[in-house]
Amino acid sequence: QNVPMSEAGGILARTGYSGLVVVDDDDNVVGVITRREIDKALNHDLGHAPVRGYMIRNPETVSEDTSLGEIQNVIIDRRSGFLPVIFDNKPKGVVTRKDVLGALHRTAHRPGEMTGNSALKESEEFGKDLLTKLPPTQFGILALAGEVADSMGVTCYLVGGIVRDLVLGHGNVDIDLLIEGDGIGFAHNLAETLEGEIIENPRFRTAKIILSDGEHIDVATAREEFYIRPGALPEVEAAGIRDDLVRRDFTINTLAIQLNSRNWGRLIDHFGGVADIKVGLIRVMHTFSFVDDPTRILRALRFAARFGFELETQTAELLRRALSEGRLDDVSPERVREEILASLNEDEPWKILSHICETGIFGILHHGIQPPLCLANVDDPVSEALEWMKGIAPGHEMPGKDLSYFAFIMSLSDPVEVKVFAIKYHFDNTIMEIAEALSHLPIARESLRLEKQTPSELAMKLDPLPTPLLTVLAAETASGSKERETLGEYIGKLKQVRPEIDGTDFIKEGYEPGPSFRKALETVRRAKLDGKISTREEEIAVARAILDSHSPE
């Protein structure tokens, strides 16, 4: 296990083996390493790293007595394609996927011995059941997709998040199709059948079909070299989609359901995705997943929080290592930003943000951002605050949920650092506005505690805050407290007080537009807030006094 990856690669090159069994100093099997991990290590300049860091830990193993049927189940139905044969935890040999396929070819004329057929039937029933859980419109689209695929002689699968969510029993109507064959041609035919528009991306051989109701269907092409040869055994046939799925992030995202009429409902689960969904585990597909694409660090936390899943032990270890090695620095600012926004847009952002804070990711993204508290131990204060705000000012502009959570987390850090963070990750103006206004928070907080102040004094201190920062104030104050009451007075009443007049009235009165207009309107608002004036005529009179005192004559 202490051998460098490059040396393990040398052994594979010399012997032509597809993988190696890794042992500890006492010759106990501790993992396996395959060509895949080694190639990736070399690509990432990690040839010097010891094998133990990137080997597959706790591999599936078999004994010398394990039957072909059992091995087939392990090797074909689950993740592993390289199985150590052990006795007393000492290595005795290996069985590979190729060995099993070879053995199956040899026994194919004795169907009674093959567990594959009955497994296939079972997976078909399960997949069919899942499809029936879809709303009728989606079900109809998939049936049509299958017919179009049949007519073109291509294989069509429903893949990814929608299949995962069907197994979970969660709603999801984002249809992702994967085609073995001419994906773009298929997308054109399906778009014609559904009378939709099509947007092609020939470089990636993908297409998006936009339907008349605004819904869309994504179509991707499995790579040509994996095209199915008619008449091949199912396991070999599945190689096309298999190689597409194997590149994905987590086992739970590698499920697919075939839609062609001959195999309608056949569930493809090569990597134990259903089993991981059932036990609630986020498991990477290989030990380099986070190195290949470090945004998966954030995706892993997002999925874990969304589904209440745990990170599988080695996945958690790999995630921590990727973070400590600074892998997130390799990601473009835009991709980091999109991942953060995706987290904020989840149903329960607090859960995800607490995972992100726990792992110290904000501090890694930018050293100055480090929310000081362990959010996981605190009840979500933002959702209560948002609910309260909805009740206090019904029908008025409400802060976005995503922005409110962002503002709360950022309010725990130094406003100057937050601005640097927002610029570094190219956040848009709404977020920049929040970052800019954070420095007003201390004065605003203070104003909620003041015993004696006029309504206009309170409003002047709270007006500079964009609405997400009002949520922050609400989240910071206890429900029913004096501060909360004062904030409620501002949000529900004072914030809505506006002069009836505006700049056009001043122009009509013969004044030249300029900075004094703003000053006049502010003064009118203040007088109105404090109940000194109430009619339009009174507003004009107050404005005139200001405008006259500023006029050039």
Binding site for ligand CTP (CB under 6 A): 160-161, 248-249, 253, 293, 295-296, 299
Beta carbon nearer to ligand CTP, 114 or 316: 316
Show Cβ contacts of residue 265 under 8 Å, excluding neighbours closer than 6 positions: 124, 125, 126, 127, 128, 129, 130, 131, 257, 258
Residue 162 or residue 385: which is nearer to ligand CTP going by CB? 162
The two structure tokens encoding residue 255: 């499920």
Nearer CB in complex with ligand CTP: 205/248: 248
Q: In the complex, what is the shortest distance from the CB of residue 45 to ligand CTP, in angstroms, rounded to a whole number? A: 21
CA pair distance 191, 193, nearest whole angstrom: 5
Q: What is the rounded distance in angstroms from the CA atom of residue 67 to the CA atom of residue 250?
A: 29
Shortest distance (Å) from residue 404 CB to ligand CTP: 21
DSSP 8-state secondary structure symbol assigned to residue 50: B
Nearer to ligand CTP, 248 or 528 (CB): 248
Closest CB to ligand CTP among residues 284, 529: 284
Counting other chains too, the contacts that 367-374 makes at CB distance below 8 Å and 24 or more residues apart are 367/417, 368/413, 368/414, 368/416, 368/417, 368/418, 368/420, 368/421, 369/410, 369/413, 369/417, 369/418, 369/421, 370/413, 371/409, 371/412, 371/413, 372/412, 373/412
What lies within 8 Å, CB to CB, of 243 at 6+ separation is 222, 223, 226
Report the residue number whose CB is nearest to ligand CTP: 161
Could you tell me the smallest distance in angstroms from the CB atom of residue 267 to ligand CTP?
16
CB of 269 to ligand CTP, least distance (A): 14
Both structure tokens of 150 = 């049949």
Q: Are 417 and 368 in contact (CB under 8 A)?
A: yes
- Minimum Å gap between C-beta 36 and ligand CTP is 15
Measured from the CB atom, the residue of 36 and 248 that comes closer to ligand CTP is: 248
Amino acid at the residue 346 = E
Would you call 126 exposed, middle or buried from its count of C-beta atoms within 10 A (0-12, 13-18, 19+)?
A: middle
Closer CB to ligand CTP, 72 or 258, in the complex: 258
Question: DSSP state, 62?
Answer: B
CB-CB neighbours of 545 under 10 Å: 12
Q: Which CB, 146 or 273, lies closer to ligand CTP?
A: 273
Minimum distance from CB of 338 to ligand CTP (Å)?
Answer: 10
Task: Provide the 10 A C-beta neighbour count for residue 454.
Answer: 13
CB of residue 162 to ligand CTP, shortest distance in Å: 7
Q: Provide, rounded to whole angstroms, the least separation between the CB of residue 271 and ligand CTP.
A: 11
CA 449, CA 240: separation in Å to the nearest integer?
A: 66
Sheet strands side by side (includes 56-57): 19-23, 29-34, 56-57
In the complex, least distance from residue 160 CB atom to ligand CTP, rounded to whole angstroms:
4
C-alpha span between 295 and 196 (Å, rounded): 33
Nearer to ligand CTP, 17 or 307 (CB): 307
**Cα separation, 400 vs 515, whole angstroms:** 31
Q: Cβ of residue 305: shortest distance to ligand CTP, in angstroms?
A: 12
Of 164 and 484, the one with the shorter C-beta distance to ligand CTP is 164
